[in-house]
Amino acid sequence: GQNIDQPTEMTATEGAIVQINCTYQTSGFNGLFWYQQHAGEAPTFLSYNVLDGLEEKGRFSSFLSRSKGYSYLLLKELQMKDSASYLCAPVDSNYQLIWGAGTKLIIKP
């Protein structure tokens, strides 16, 4: 079957760094998306990785290891507005996104 595993909730301090991990098992693999979702709002696109390694985009970076079925999202210089859920979504052999339940990130001053 297909399975996504992310921590349910994490807490971090403003200005710090946090890493949100995601492990996955899918039927085939065609890359992995990360989305940010603020409470009561729609998901917004953050990143897409298809090759192994780290992709940096400003304060956010995303890492992928296909052989390990593992990805992480790294957030630096945390701001209060980064309080949100972060959804990991690998893409299966049918090009369907398989959504995780998300990690709720709480930022404290």
Partner 1 sequence: DAMVIQNPRYQVTQFGKPVTLSCSQTLNHNVMYWYQQKSSQAPKLLFHYYDKDFNNEADTPDNFQSRRPNTSFCFLDIRSPGLGDAAMYLCATSTRSGSGKPDTQYFGPGTRLTVL
84 belongs to the binding site for partner 1 (CB under 8 A): no
Give the N- to C-terminal CA distance of the chain in Å, as an integer.
40
Structure tokens at 57: 């985009």
Q: Which is nearer to partner 1, 43 or 69 (CB)?
A: 43
Q: Is 51 exposed, middle or buried (0-12, 13-18, 19+ CB in 10 A)?
A: exposed
CB 18 within 8 A of CB 36: no
Told to check if 99 binds partner 1 by CB under 8 A, we report: yes
Q: Decide if residue 69 touches partner 1 (CB under 8 A).
A: no
87 part of the interface to partner 1, by CB under 8 A: yes
Q: Segment contacting partner 1 (CB under 8 A): 19-27, 57-65, 73-81, 90-98?
A: 90-98
- Tell me the residue type at 77: E
Residues that bind partner 1 (CB under 8 A): 4, 8, 30-31, 33, 40-45, 48, 50, 87, 91, 95-97, 99-102, 104
